Amino acid sequence: MPVHTGIYRKTASFAAVFLVFGFFCGAACAKERAVPAAAAYQKANVILIILDALRPERLGCYTPSQDTSPHIDALAQRGVVFTNAFSQSHLTLPSVTSLFTSLYPFVHQTRHIFRDSVPEQAYTLAEVLRLQGYQTAWFGYLRDPHSGSAPGLLKGFEEGVEIRPERIFQWIEQNGEKPFFIAVHSYATHEKDFIGNQFENKIFARIPKSFLQKVEDARVNGWQGFQSDLRNKREGLYDFLGKDWIEQNWDLLMEPYSAERYKELMYRAPQSQQKLYMLEAVTGGLEKAFASYGEEATQGFLGFLDSALFDFDQNYMAGLHALLEKKGLDQNTVIVITADHGNEFFEHGRLGHLGPLFDESIHIPLIFHLPGHQESVVINDLAQSIDIFPTLLDLLGVPIPSQVQGISLAGVMADSPGANRHDYVYGQSVGGLLYIRSRQWKLILPGESLCYGTDTGAQLFDLTRDPQEKINLIAKKTRVAAKLRKKLRDRFGLCNDKKLFARPGN
Ligand SMILES: [Zn+2]
C-alpha cells in the first residue's frame, strides 16, 4: 500500500493550512489501495505531457475517426485511457497548480496571475521525485505568468527550459542514464497559439480558404481595437504596458496589422503583460466574430486546433517515441498525457475557457502509457488532475506526502476489488464558482450560495439525460441539489473559513 509518511518534513507545517481551511482527510485518504505491479515501475522515468486546453475528443484514442494524433494513440494502445477525467479548474494557473501539488484550488488558492503564488508549504510532484534522486526538468514557456514564471510552480525542477522538441530530445540524450522526471507544458493546442497560424499538414489543407480569410479579418479588426485603445487611453495604459515601451514603439503600434509587424512587436515586448495584451488584441475579437459565423466557425476553429495537434504529434511525439526506443528507455519510462483544462467551442455561446465550469472547460484527456503493458485499457471511472501526482508515486513505489488530496488510480487501473474510486470530483473557477460532479449529477454554484444556503447563481444538471448541460434543474431537483451542496460543504469544510466565501461587504 502507498504510505502516508512523515518523511516529508514540510508535511507538518502544511497540516496547518488544512486546518485553516477546515479540510479533514476523509475515508478516501485512509483506505488501503491496491497497487498494480508497483515494483515494475520502481525508478522508472516519468514524462508528463500537458497539452494546454486540449479536449479528449480531438485525439484519435478517444475518437477513432480522428487522424490527428497517431503517435499519442500508439502510446495509448499500450496503457490506460481514462474517459471521465476532469481538471480542478478552467484556467491554466489554478489547474496546473492543482496538477503539480495534488491540492484543490480552494486549498492552494493560486488563481490569479501576477498576484498569487503556489503555497510554499506545499510539495510539488517534482520536489518529491527530486528527493527520491530523480533528475528533473520542465519544458515550457519560461516567461508565461500562467505557468513558467508563476511563483513557486517550478519548485523541484532543476532546470526550466524553453520548449522546443530538439531541446527535450537533447536533454534526454544527455541525462537518460539515470532516472528522470520531465514535464512538458505546450500551448500548441491553445487557440491563442494556433489561430491564424499556417500549418503544412494534411489537416490544415482541409480548412476552407474562405474561413482562413475570415480569421485574418478578425485579427485585423482585433488589432484595430487595440490601436483605438492605445490612442484613447494612451496615458491610462502607461502603468500596465509601460510608458517607455509605448512611446518607443508608437509608430510601429499604429501601423496597420500584418503578421510580420505583430511578430516584431511581440519580439520587442520586454514583459509578459505587453505580450498578453497584444495576444488578446488579435484573438479577443475572434470570439465575437466567430459567434456570428455559426457552424462554419466551429468547424474552422477545430480545423486549426486539429492541425496544431497533428503538428505537435509529428514534431514532438514521433521524435520522442523514436528516441526512447533508440536508447532502450521505452521499457522503463511511464508517459502521462493530459491537458490542464478543456475549452468551449460555442456549446454555451463562447469560445475559450473563461466561462463557467461546464464539462467542455474541465473534461480532459488522461492517458498513462505503461512500459510492458501490451494492451489498451479504457476506464470510465471518474478521475481528476490531482490524481496524477499520487498515481505516479504509487506506480513508482514512492511514499505519498499527506498533503495530497487526489487518490492513486493505480488500484482502479488494476481493477483491484479494494481500489479507491471517486464518487465525486470537485473544482473551482478563478471567479469563485465551485463544482461537484458525479457520473450523473453536476452542481455548479458560487461559493456564497454554498455557504449561505441559497440557490442564487446555482445550476444543476442531470448529465445522463442532458450531457450538454442546457437544462438547469436547480428549482426542480431540490433534494439532489441539497445533497450535493452538503457533500461539497462538509467534505472540505469550505464554509468554516469566513474569509473564503464571505458575503460582499463582510
Ligand atoms: Zn491552460
**Angle at which helices 318-326 and 70-77 cross, to 10°:** 50
Q: Are 257 and 142 in a shared domain? A: no
- Give the domain range for residue 234: 193-299
Cα 304 to middle of ligand 1, angstroms: 17
Report how far ligand 1's centroid is from the alpha carbon of 146 (Å).
8
Q: Are residues 160 and 66 in the same domain?
A: yes
Query: Please, what is the average pLDDT of the chain?
Result: 86
Going from the Cα of 154 to the center of ligand 1, the distance in angstroms, rounded, reads: 16
Residue 500 covered by a domain? no
Q: What is the pLDDT of residue 27?
A: 32
Confidence of residue 165 (pLDDT cuts 50, 70, 90): very high
- The per-residue DSSP string of 278-318 comes to HHHHHHHHHHHHHHTTTHHHHHHHHHHHHHHHHHHIIIIIH
More confident residue, 35 or 196: 196
Residues 45 and 173 reside in one and the same domain: yes
Whether 426 maps to a domain, the answer reads no
- In this model, does residue 473 exceed pLDDT 70? yes
* Distance (Å) from CA 51 to ligand 1 centroid: 8
Same domain, 248 and 159: no
| Cβ neighbours of residue 248 closer than 8 Å, sequence gap 6 or more | none
Query: Which residues, at least 6 apart from 232, have a Cβ–Cβ distance to it below 8 Å?
Result: none
Q: What average pLDDT does range 438-443 have in this prediction?
A: 98
Same domain, yes or no: 288 and 142: no
For the cut 50, the answer to whether the pLDDT of residue 6 exceeds it is no
How many structural domains are present in the chain? 3
Q: Does 434 score more than 60 pLDDT?
A: yes
pLDDT confidence tier of residue 181, bands split at 50, 70 and 90: very high
Same-domain pairing of 220 and 200 = yes
Residue 56 belongs to a domain: yes
**pLDDT confidence of residue 176:** 94
- The DSSP symbol for 190 reads S
pTM, 2 dp: 0.86
Q: State the pLDDT at residue 40.
A: 65
- The answer to whether 311 and 188 are in contact (CB under 8 A) is yes
* Number of helices followed by number of strands (H, E) in the chain: 21, 14
CATH code of the domain covering residue 125: 3.40.720.10
CATH number for the domain harbouring residue 444: 3.30.1120.10
| Boundary of a domain, candidates 366, 394, 421 | 421
| Rounded Cα–Cα distance for residues 301 and 294 (Å) | 11
Name the residue among 422, 339, 337 with its Cα closest to residue 381. Answer: 422
Separation of 339 CA from ligand 1 center, angstroms?
8
Greater pLDDT, 256 or 316:
316
- The residues placing their C-beta within 5 Å of ligand 1, an ion, are 52, 92, 340
Distance 80 CA to ligand 1 centre (A): 23
Average pLDDT over residues 181-194: 92
Using the structure block, give the residue that is written with the C-alpha cell 512587436. Answer: 265
- pLDDT for 409 beyond 70: yes
Does residue 444 belong to any structural domain of this protein? yes
Distance separating alpha carbons of residues 493 and 476, to the nearest angstrom: 26
CA 341 to centroid of ligand 1, rounded, Å: 6
Same domain, 74 and 197: no
Instruction: Transcribe 327-353 into DSSP letters.
Output: TT-GGGEEEEEE-S---EESTTS-EES
Ligand 1 centroid – CA 147 distance (Å): 8
Compare 282 and 205 and report the one with higher pLDDT: 205
324 with 225, same domain? no
CA of 268 to the centre of ligand 1 (A): 24
The reply to whether 149 and 121 lie within a common domain is yes
Residue 503 pLDDT class (50, 70, 90 cuts):
very low
* Ligand 1 center to 86 CA (angstroms): 13
Last residue of one domain, picked from the residues 421, 444, 459: 421
End-to-end Cα, the chain, rounded Å: 46
Reply yes or no on whether the pLDDT at 89 is more than 90.
yes
Instruction: Look at residue 1 in the predicted model and tell me its pLDDT.
Output: 35
Whether 110 and 201 share a structural domain: no
Q: Is residue 429 within 8 Å of 448, Cβ to Cβ?
A: no
Show contacts of 210-217: CB within 8 Å, 24+ apart: 211/293, 211/296, 211/297, 211/299, 211/300, 211/303, 212/300, 214/289, 214/293, 214/297, 214/300, 215/286, 215/300, 215/304, 217/289
What phi and psi values does residue 280 have, to the nearest 5 degrees? Answer: -60, -40
Residue 167 is assigned to a structural domain of this protein = yes
Stretch 136-144: mean pLDDT, rounded?
Answer: 91
Q: How far is the CA of 141 from the centre of ligand 1 (A)?
A: 12
pLDDT digits (tens, 9 = 90+) for 412-424: 998 888 889 999 9
The answer to whether 457 and 446 are in contact (CB under 8 A) is yes
147 and 253 together in one domain: no
Among 26-40, 104-118, 130-144, the range scoring the smallest mean pLDDT is: 26-40
Q: Which amino acid is at 328?
A: G
- Indicate whether 18 and 151 sit together in one domain: yes
